[in-house]
């Protein structure tokens, strides 16, 4: 099978490693890829958010399967364009990707499907925002209604800061605060059948102890020893199946990766957000434990044959991923710093590049991540931090507490 992978971040490097390890894959092409991905795939340039360019590349390389990693090409319609060429594509249509592309669209689908989520109001004017903030009270949650790469959400006790964030956005969703530990559940689906991966947790804030501003994600681990028994089955029944049914009814079935971001509240699991693609960095941890060949699974979802796919097999134990971010992230990101020690198994590249002399340098906010696997979370943490200790990056920032509370049995359910 010849696979074309679209994207070039940490998630795509993790996907590339798993795809390349699938014996059914004899050629892997990544566009644009990154210097880490270059070790397992041929790199090609592409304008990923131009659907016709993605489809033309798929035809040119003779792809049997296209896997689209990031949300922007999906929202732009890259999967539609690839399928229009008669090529199997893992990734939802533009219409279905609106689950991620528009917070208010997602809220509408959830309301119609009876999916438990935070109460929310879509606001267009400062007066509407002020009224919604006062209705729900602190902590205030204000979300940019469009795609914002994980940085469009402000959660704050400071009413003035909530108003300032709203003013910087064209349209916002103001919602009720959900208290409880967060879960990321990835579901592979062909629109009908749906297969959950291991639940994971990510760490959104830049600082230890969940302090400082939100980021794209500073670390992750899987599975979740503290998760209530039956959590995944409950989320499949109460969230995933009704959402997929609702999108089928609308004539826009969702086929691809449905990322369900949840808070486990006192009232049960509630959806915080949907994404239309694998999460980053949770994918790095989850795929480190997946033994089932990935390309076969994604092809089954892309061809509507997921119901016939054998059950997933998982490596026992746990995986922990720690992100190394550049100086200044997330407000800005210093780039061009030399990186050493990044060519080791377990290191996944996100924002890296080669400079004119071929040296590896930082090229984005999240630069790379280290994934450790072990018999339990404690061992996986040790492995991840040991790996990261061998990497050099001037001004590099990383959290020291990834998976720490879970490893010590200190994640409390409300």
**Per-residue contact track with ligand AMP, 289 to 328, x per CB under 6 A?**
----------------------------------------
Largest CA distance in the chain: 58
Beta-bridged to residue 318, according to DSSP, are: 374
- Applying CB under 6 A, does 207 fall inside the site for ligand AMP? no
- Applying CB under 6 A, does 217 fall inside the site for ligand GLY? yes
- Applying CB under 6 A, does 201 fall inside the site for ligand AMP? no
CA-nearest of 77, 80, 126, 120 to 101 is: 77
Indicate which single residue of 17, 272, 288, 301 sits in contact with ligand AMP (rule: CB under 6 A): 272
Q: Which is nearer to ligand GLY, 176 or 280 (CB)?
A: 280
Residue 202 token pair: 């990510």
DSSP H or E run through 101? helix 94-101
- Applying CB under 6 A, does 282 fall inside the site for ligand GLY? yes
CA angle 342, 345, 347 (to 5 degrees): 45
**Per-residue contact track with ligand GLY, 91 to 130, x per CB under 6 A?**
----------------------------------------
- Applying CB under 6 A, does 175 fall inside the site for ligand AMP? yes
E strands of 55-181, at which residues?
65-68, 88-90, 120-123, 140-144, 153-156, 172-175
Distance CA 348, CA 352 (A): 10
Q: Which is nearer to ligand GLY, 22 or 273 (CB)?
A: 273
DSSP H or E run through 275? strand 268-275
H-assigned helices in 180-250: 231-235, 241-249
Beta-bridged to residue 290, according to DSSP, are: 314
- Applying CB under 6 A, does 201 fall inside the site for ligand GLY? no
- Applying CB under 6 A, does 279 fall inside the site for ligand GLY? yes
**Per-residue contact track with ligand GLY, 129 to 168, x per CB under 6 A?**
---------------------x------------------
Q: Smallest distance, Å, CB 42 to ligand GLY?
A: 26
**Tokens 């991966």, residue?**
197
Answer with the entry of ligand AMP, ligand GLY, none that 238 interacts with (C-beta below 5 to 8 A by kind): none
Distance CA 111, CA 273 (A): 13
**Tokens 């999240």, residue?**
366
Q: Which stretch binds ligand GLY (CB under 6 A): 17-25, 249-257, 277-285, 303-311?
A: 277-285
Residues lying near ligand AMP in the complex (CB under 6 A) = 118, 141, 143, 150, 153, 155, 175, 177-178, 182, 204, 214, 261, 263, 272-273
């Amino acid at each position: 099978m010849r696979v074309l992978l679209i994207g070039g971040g940490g998630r795509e490097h993790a996907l590339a490693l798993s795809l390349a390890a699938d014996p059914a894959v004899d050629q892997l092409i990544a566009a644009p890829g990154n210097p880490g991905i270059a070790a397992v795939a041929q790199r090609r340039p592409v304008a990923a958010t131009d659907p016709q360019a993605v489809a033309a590349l798929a035809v040119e390389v003779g792809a049997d399967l296209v896997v689209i990693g990031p949300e922007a090409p999906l929202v732009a319609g890259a999967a539609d364009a690839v399928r229009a060429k008669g090529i199997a594509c893992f990734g939802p249509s533009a219409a279905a990707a609106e689950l991620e592309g528009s917070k208010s669209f997602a809220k509408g689908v959830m309301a119609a499907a009876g999916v438990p989520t935070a109460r929310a109001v879509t606001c267009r004017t400062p007066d509407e925002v002020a009224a919604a903030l006062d209705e729900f009270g602190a902590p205030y949650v204000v979300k940019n209604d469009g795609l914002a790469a994980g940085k469009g959400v402000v959660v704050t006790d400071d009413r003035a800061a909530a108003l300032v964030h709203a003013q910087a956005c064209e349209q916002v969703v103001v919602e009720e605060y959900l208290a409880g530990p967060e879960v990321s559940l990835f579901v592979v689906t062909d629109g009908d059948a749906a297969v959950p991966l291991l639940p994971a947790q990510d760490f959104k804030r830049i600082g230890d102890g969940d302090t400082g501003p939100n980021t794209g994600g500073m670390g992750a681990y899987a599975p979740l020893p503290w998760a209530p028994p039956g959590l995944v089955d409950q989320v499949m029944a109460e969230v995933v199946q009704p959402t997929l049914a609702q999108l089928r009814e609308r004539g826009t079935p969702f086929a691809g990766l449905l990322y369900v971001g949840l808070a486990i509240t006192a009232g049960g699991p509630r959806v915080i957000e949907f994404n239309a693609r694998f999460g980053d960095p949770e994918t790095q941890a989850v795929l480190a434990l997946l033994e089932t060949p990935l390309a076969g699974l994604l092809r089954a979802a892309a061809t509507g044959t997921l119901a016939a796919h054998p059950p997933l097999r998982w490596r026992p134990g746990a995986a922990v991923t720690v992100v190394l971010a550049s100086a200044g992230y997330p407000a800005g990101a210093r780039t061009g710093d030399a990186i050493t020690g990044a060519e080791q198994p377990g290191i996944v590249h996100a924002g890296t590049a080669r400079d004119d002399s071929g040296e590896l340098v930082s090229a984005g906010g999240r630069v790379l991540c280290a994934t450790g696997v072990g018999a339990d979370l404690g061992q996986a943490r040790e492995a991840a931090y040991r790996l990261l200790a061998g990497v050099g990056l001037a001004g590099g920032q990383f959290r020291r507490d990834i998976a720490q509370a879970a490893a010590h049995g200190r994640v409390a359910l409300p």
